[in-house]
Chain A
Amino acid sequence: MRFKDKSVIITGGGGKIAKAYAIAFANEGAKLCLPDIASADQIVKTVKDMGGTAISMACDVSNENSVKAMVSETVKQFGTVDILINNAAYFMSVWKGPFWEMTVEEFDKAMAVNVRGSWLCAKAVAPHMQKQKSGKIINISSNVALTGNPNYIHYVTSKGALIAMTRAMAKELGDWNICVNTVTPGFVVTEGRQVDPEYEKIRAQQRSVKRTQVENDLVGTVLFLSSSESDFMTGQLLNVDGGFHFVG
């Protein structure tokens, strides 16, 4: 039980990848807060059914008041915040097209949710982590920032921004033993997701480990970065994509 009674916030907690994180943390004794702009109630139920502790609430991570309220509620119920997983993202419903046809509104939305949202959540939890002189913040980026995937420049750019933001945050929070790291997942075919089988085959072939990436492939790395095993690792980018991209 590596996370016994630890207070863990997973933003975008209602999604399929978040569910994989949540169940793994719950299995190791953590108390979970799963804020989402949509509902995370079904995951809360799953965690409770297995005897764990979880709460959810509506939260728009791009809005400071909404984020503050969410973090306050978590602290009220769980006593503090030990771990923040900045997992919420504007992704599934993004507009796709070449960047010269993208509207400012669309661009700004990706930056507001993915970048400002992650910063606001870190900003809101920082005082609690500083008080206890420990904490872990994990920003979920994407390997599209490494590849430069076409046709959603706003999403790609926002995920690249998180890599740089992680580094500056790590430097600013190091004196309080708070570690900030980034994970870049490859393309995850979440349960039930429909993908072009031909395209997925090509993607798998480009990897060292030639298979489809699933939610659970990310869980071990996120838990490692949340655990005391990684206490001297901060500001780093951990790429989990079956050996498609190599960074550095």
Chain B
Amino acid sequence: MRFDGKSVIITGGGGKIGKAYAMGFAKEGAKVALPDIASADHVVKAIQDMGGTAISMACDVSNEKSVKAMVDNVAKQFGSVDVLVNNAAYFMTVKKSVFWEMEVDEFDKAMAVNVRGSWLCAKAAFPYMKQQSKGKIINISSGTALNGGQNYIHYVTSKGALIAMTRAMAREVGDYGICVNTVSPGFVVTEGRQVDPAFNANRVGNRAIKRVQVENDLVGTVMFLASPESDFMTGQLLNVDGGAHFVG
């Protein structure tokens, strides 16, 4: 049980990828908090059904008060915050368009949720991690920041911002034994998601490992970064996309 009794926050915990992380951590003994702007109750139930500990609460990560209330509530119920996975993102419902036709409101929304939201969660979790001189923050970026995905410049830009933010955060919190790293997943075909088969075949063909990426492909890396095995790794970008992009 690598995370026995550890307090783990997974933002956007009601989503399919959030669920995969949550199940992975719960199986290793963690107490899991799953804030989401939508409901994460079904994930909480799945974890409780397998004998684990999980809570969820409504939270808008782009709102400082909402985030602070969420993190304080987690610390109150679980004793502290050991791991923060900044997984919440404005993605599934983004309005797609070329950048010269995008509205300012739409652009700002992606930055507010994906960038400001990750910063706010880290800001709120930091005092608890500092107190115990230990902590892991994992910012979920995206392979679109590496290849410049088209027709959602706000999303791509926000995910690139997280890579830079991770590095500055890592330097600022290193003295407190806190590691901050980024994971950039490739395109994940979550359970039940409909994708254009021709486009998907092309995507798969660009990988070293030529198959569809699924939720569980990310779990091992996120748990590695949350574990003591990666205690001397911080500020780094771990790209998990079956070998489509190589960074550096």
Contact = CB atoms under 8 A, between A and B. Distances in A.
Query: How big is chain A's contact interface, by range?
Result: 35 or more
Interface SS majority for chain A: mixed
Interface of B: 146, 163, 167, 170-171, 173-175, 177, 179, 207-210, 213, 217-221, 223-224, 227-243, 246-248
A100 interface: no
Nearest to B207: A174
Contacts of B174: 207-210, 242-243
A233 B243 CA distance: 6
Contact of B210 (A175, A217, A229, A248): A175
Contacts of B233: 221, 238-240, 243
A144 interface: no
Contact of B246 (A173, A177, A229, A235): A235
A236 B213 CA distance: 16
Nearest to A181: B243
A208 B167 CA distance: 9
Interface stretch (A62-70, A148-156, A163-171, A194-202): A163-171
A57 interface: no
Interface of A: 146, 163, 167, 170-171, 173-175, 177, 179, 207-210, 213, 217-221, 223-224, 227-243, 246-248
B243 A174 contact: yes
A227 B223 CA distance: 13
Nearest to B241: A232
Contacts of A221: 224, 229-230, 233
Main secondary structure of the interface of B (DSSP, over half): mixed
A234 B239 CA distance: 9
Closest 4 pairs (CB-CB, A-B): A229-B220, A220-B229, A208-B174, A174-B208
A233 B229 contact: no
A247 B248 CA distance: 5
Given A174-B242, A246-B235, A233 B248 contact: no
Given A220-B228, A238-B236, A240-B233, A232 B246 contact: no
Given A177-B209, A224-B224, A246-B167, A233 B239 contact: yes
Contacts of B219: 229
Contacts of A231: 217, 220
20 contacts: A174-B210, A179-B243, A208-B173, A208-B174, A208-B235, A213-B232, A220-B230, A221-B229, A224-B224, A229-B219, A234-B208, A234-B209, A234-B242, A237-B246, A237-B248, A238-B233, A241-B232, A243-B170, A247-B237, A248-B163
Nearest to B164: A246
A220 B221 CA distance: 12
A247 B227 CA distance: 21
Contacts of A235: 208, 243, 246
Nearest to A233: B240
Nearest to A239: B236
Contacts of B247: 236-237, 247-248
B248 A163 contact: yes
Contacts of B163: 248
A232 B183 CA distance: 13
Q: Which of A228, A236, A239, A247 has the most CB of B within 10 A?
A: A236
